[in-house]
Structure 1
Amino acid sequence: MTIKAYWRLDPTAEPGRAEPSAWAETLARNVRPISINRFDHYAQIARAAALTGFDGLFIQHRSDGDDSQIIAAAVARSAPKLGLVPEFPASVGSAVYAAKQAVTFQRAVHDRLGWAIAPDGDADARAAIADPVLEADLRARTEEFLHVARGVHGSQPFDFQGRFFEVKGGGFEQPLAGAAFPRVFLRGEQEDSLALSARHADVHLFALQPVEALRAKIEDLDRLALAAGRNVEFGISATLAARETAEDLQHTPAADIAGTYDLVAAQLAELAAAGIGHFVLSASPSLEETYRVGQFVLPRLRAHQPTLRAAA
């Protein structure tokens, strides 16, 4: 099994870092305009992920942060081989327009785009973004969103009438036709989440949990995907605290997986042996930890791949 590793960028992490306002007092006597901003920081993280061997950058959706898709577009040329996976909810609007944006993005970055569909927010959060869909209908809306987006991407004319979307004669002509559809990442632990992924996900992301529980959920989703005539790959999302020695860990933030470089890599390899092929990893501070995890954990994890291949 080939392991794919993604660094998770949180647009709201480390507020003030690389923001002009944070530099204002120290540069009060400098009459030149301040040119560095938050997007330079995002680009630094993207370059660090690319330089240290990550396969992609997973850009977290935050209602109070910069838009994930715009971040992805902004950093795309900073790391020309890095996969880019912005996360966003199905409440972003028209599935047809989302598909057109994806096609344009793919043409610009040579098919490096993925989509991570975020869970919808609570009632107050949805009201704040003018989303009137009821709680009971959110999953159905997500399913229609993905069905319509794939439909207009893959055929022309595409017609559909559902509860949330209606399309007549949709689809793309050249030069927009032909770009790859983004790899779709979904997540969730409940049965209805697994069922949705069986029908629509390319990768399902689980929360970190004991290996035996993870194996059981992988088997359940495998069964559902097989019944739907599809193949779904599996991933986990986890925060890390990795250091050279146990003593160095004493002042690190709490994390899902903590230990020496060897220990963290071994725990990730155990998850890979259980069927996990996609790792969405993060640590704080993000830029420095991108280098640390990429230089010291990823090589150790990938050293396990021949063993994992033999076990598969």
Structure 2
Amino acid sequence: MTIRIYWQLDVAAENGRSEPTERPRYQPVIRDIRTASINRYDYYAQIARAAALTGFDGLFVAHRTDADDSQIVAAAVARSAPRLTIIPEFPASVGSAVYAAKQAVSFQRLAHERLGWAIAPDADAATRARGADLVAEDDLIARTEEFLIVARGVHGERPFSHKGRFFEVEGGGFEAPLNRVAFPKVFLRGTSEEALALSARHADVHLFDDAPIDELRGHIEALDRLALKEGRNLDYGILQPLVARETGEEASEAHERGLAGSYDEIADRLAELAALGINHFILGAEPGFEEAYRIGQFVLPRLRARVAPARAA
């Protein structure tokens, strides 16, 4: 089994730090001879480069309501780390599924088909209302499903027509060259029966939050059965905040949330998850720039060494 490891860029956490003002050590995202300072997006680009330099396969840009837009951040850093897969997370309430699909194919052309789509869990009713999203709670899963149907539809065929509860398209679809790139790999989340059923129908990768092994095993087995009925196969992933240090004692001292342990202990836990069938790992720690180097240098080689024998077998 080939594993894919992504670093999580949490724009809300990074915005809690002071705005960078020093001259960049690396080439900034946008060259501007008028100023010697760098802005927040140059710092995001440094995190992306740190992930690329230390062996991560991709960058997961978390959706946060009160922070920079994940898709804008993803596009801004895409050329700073030309090897990484870039996965912005965003809710299905972003607007037109047709326009979202057009943005996706434009991104694919920009970044040589390195885009993934992570559909964010829907926020609570009050938060959704502040964002002009008044879809009823019971309709959220259906809205996400229709969003994906329409986005894939206009990407995959022309003319494409659809008349649903949330989206309506008449004779849509993309012409060349927009129709020549792949649709992004879709990452979905959730452990409710409805969320698992949605992934069985539409996800390429289903993401879980950190949970006990037995609980994860139960969800994977349930989703495998659902996907089999749909004639589909899914990959599985996990969003794993962590604190890794040279020793477990140091990790405990620095621990605030997430998995904590020595580099070897963290690699052992992640390898255990890989043996369960999880092959997409979205790892995150704060501060993102410094920790990307730490995890990339000391945890990733250990993890890959542990799963290599399983792949060979």
TM-score by length of 2: 0.93
Name the amino acid aligned to 1:239.
P
Q: Over aligned residues, Cα RMSD in angstroms?
A: 1.7
How far did residue 46 of structure 1 move? 0.1
How far did residue 310 of structure 1 move? 5.1
- Cα distance in 2, alignment partners of residues 42 and 232 from structure 1: 31
Give 1:138-217 correspondences, 5 Å limit.
Answer: 138-217=140-219
Local SS of the residue matching 2:13: coil
- What does residue 243 of structure 2 align with? 241
- Cα distance in 2, alignment partners of residues 229 and 283 from structure 1: 37
Residues matched between the structures, number: 303
- What does residue 94 of structure 2 align with? 92
- Cα distance in 2, alignment partners of residues 287 and 49 from structure 1: 8
Gap regions ≥5 residues in structure 2 = 24-33
List 4+ stretches of structure 1 deviating above 3 A.
Answer: 14-18, 20-23
Q: Deviation digits for residues 280-311 of structure 1, max 9, x if unmatched?
A: 11011111000000010000000022332256
- What does residue 55 of structure 1 align with? 57
Give 1:220-299 correspondences, 5 Å limit.
Answer: 220-299=222-301
Name the amino acid aligned to 1:129.
G
Name the amino acid aligned to 2:65.
S
- Cα distance in 1, alignment partners of residues 127 and 112 from structure 2: 35
- Cα distance in 2, alignment partners of residues 181 and 74 from structure 1: 20
How far did residue 131 of structure 1 move? 1.3
Name the amino acid aligned to 1:36.
I
- Cα distance in 1, alignment partners of residues 18 and 74 from structure 2: 18
- Cα distance in 1, alignment partners of residues 203 and 37 from structure 2: 40
- What does residue 6 of structure 2 align with? 6
On the 8 A contact 2:252/2:261 being kept in 1, the answer is no
Q: Deviation digits for residues 188-238 of structure 1, max 9, x if unmatched?
A: 111111000000100000111121221121111011111111111001111
Q: Deviation digits for residues 151-204 of structure 1, max 9, x if unmatched?
A: 000011111110000111111110111211000000011111100000010000
TM-score by length of 1: 0.93
- Cα distance in 2, alignment partners of residues 155 and 250 from structure 1: 53
How far did residue 34 of structure 1 move? 5.7
Gap regions ≥5 residues in structure 1 = 24-31
- Cα distance in 2, alignment partners of residues 153 and 250 from structure 1: 48
Of the candidates 59, 65, 68, which is equivalent to residue 67 of structure 2?
Answer: 65
On the 8 A contact 1:113/1:183 being kept in 2, the answer is yes
State percent identity of aligned pairs: 67
Name the amino acid aligned to 1:276.
I
On the 8 A contact 1:246/1:259 being kept in 2, the answer is yes
Q: Does 1:122 align with 2:132?
A: no
